[in-house]
Chains A and B, each alone.
Chain A
Amino acid sequence: MVSKVQGLLRIELAAHAPTIIVSSAAMAFAGYLATFFEDASWIAAEASGTTSPSFAPSAILVGMATLPAIFVVLGVYALIDANEEALRYEVGVYCSQGMDGDSVVDVWSALYGWIPVGAYLAGLLAYLAFTPGVVANLQNGLPDIISGLFFITGMATLILIPTKLNGVLETSPYAVVRS
């Protein structure tokens, strides 16, 4: 069974490569943008002190950092929605070959969930790597910022995308046969 799932992962990775690349590029960009917002917020807070009213715009920037990933996850959701009929057909074919429907959804969740989330983390770290002085600016806050943004994005992605994919599975001919 494990080798079947591995084989399925390889096949699906090759078949869905263009959409996975586009999703991952967008998520990496969202990560890059989020770290930029955080960095701008910290520079502003450092320059102005943390007293109101200067603190408010800086806090707004921190809140804004979570938004790019949410919009991109909605975009990935839209990509899956656009591809729904093809996915329904695919799950039917795999199930007719003796593959469990839930394993197919797990593979898709890895491709459209975990890979984009990994790309988001890479985007977060890319801003740190390619912009001099950011690590020094963020200092002690850096682990909290990275883990917080990663957690929020990971939760949003890994709830929304598998829910959509399970919806595809439930409306596929496989579900009708199983019931």
Chain B
Amino acid sequence: MARRRRPLRAVSLVFAGFVTLVLLSQLSAYFFAQAIPKHLLLKNAAELLQIQKTSTELAFAAAALGLVFSGAVLLITRSRVAADVDIYRATGLPFSSAFLRLLRSHSVVPLEWVTGAAAVTALIDLDFGLNAFIPIGLAVAFAGLLVSWLAFLTSASFSHKDVEGRSARVG
């Protein structure tokens, strides 16, 4: 039996990868601080501050890059996801049912991956005393991007149908 293709399977890997990249950026400041003995902390305070600043900037940069990268994957897979919406529309499903079906078939796995990665990252952040809001914020942004993209594709397909229907009535 042929394996069923999930066009957004690829985005799961991107979501989890970039959440981990944010964690790595944050951890660098922690390990740097750990590497310096307590009695030398004051002497190296300026360097510590600089490393902490750079690591936070890089964590935000990784988050931004992750959003761009996932946006690219979503754009690449647009035609295949849009084809599914067209099938739902052709079977006569209303907008809300088509959207729910699309969410069920395309967003569950990527959302599971991003939730898993964010949960692990947040736990590590809390354990090491780091800011857990950055990876959690990124995970929420990923989820928002995915759901709004699917909503956009559904509404684009259904608005196309409205135009077709109006043209047919005029004809």
Pick out which of these stretches binds chain B: A4-12, A44-52, A96-104, A148-156. A44-52
Q: In whole angstroms, what is the CA distance A18 to B43 when docked?
A: 47
Apart from A40-B55, A67-B24: 5 A-B pairs, beta carbons within 8 A: A40-B29, A47-B44, A54-B34, A61-B31, A82-B11
Query: For chain A residues 28-73, which have a beta carbon within 8 Å of chain B?
Result: 29-30, 32-33, 36-37, 40-41, 43-45, 47-48, 54-58, 60-61, 64, 67-68, 71-72
Offer 6 A-B interface pairs, CB within 8 angstroms, sorted by A.
A18-B75, A29-B65, A36-B28, A64-B28, A78-B10, A78-B11
Question: Measured between alpha carbons, how far is A47 from B50 in the docked complex, in Å?
Answer: 15
Partner of A78, one of B14, B20, B75: B14
Q: Nearest Cβ distance between residue B45 and chain A, in whole angstroms?
A: 11
Point out which of B9, B21, B31, B61 has the most chain A C-beta atoms below 10 A from its C-beta: B31
Residues of A within 8 A of B73 (CB): 78-79, 82
CB of B58 within 8 A of CB of A36, answer: yes
Main secondary structure of the interface of A (DSSP, over half): helix
Residue in contact with B31 in the complex, picked from A47, A57, A68, CB distance below 8 Å: A57
A-B contact count (CB 8 A): 116
Tell me the smallest distance from the CB of B64 to a CB of chain A, in Å. 10
Is A167 an interface residue when CB atoms closer than 8 A count as contact?
no
Contact B17 A54 (CB under 8 A): no
Q: Which of A19-27, A110-118, A138-146 participates in binding chain B?
A: A19-27
Taking CB atoms, residues of chain B closer than 8 Å to A61 are 28, 31-32, 35
Residue of A nearest to B12 (CB): A78
Report yes or no: A43 in contact with B51, Cβ–Cβ below 8 A: yes
Q: Chain A's nearest CB lies how many Å from the CB of B113?
A: 11
Which of A29, A36, A64, A82 has the most B CB atoms < 10 Å from its CB? A82
Query: Is the Cβ of A64 less than 8 Å from the Cβ of B17?
Result: no
Which residues of B in the span 97-124 have a Cβ within 8 Å of any Cβ on A? none
Residues in A neighbouring B54, C-beta threshold 8 A: 36
Instruction: Judge whether B164 is part of the interface by a CB distance below 8 angstroms.
Output: no
Within 8 A of A (CB), among B3-44: 7, 9-11, 13-14, 17-18, 20-21, 24-25, 27-29, 31-32, 34-37, 40, 43-44
Q: Are B13 and A83 in contact (CB under 8 A)?
A: no
Question: How far is it, in angstroms, between the C-alpha of A61 and the C-alpha of B35 when the chains are bound?
Answer: 10
A170 CB–B CB distance under 8 Å: no
B62 within 8 A of A: yes
A81-95 interface (Cβ within 8 A of B) = 81-83, 85-86
Given A26-B69, A81-B10, is A45 in contact with B35 using a C-beta cutoff of 8 Å?
Answer: yes
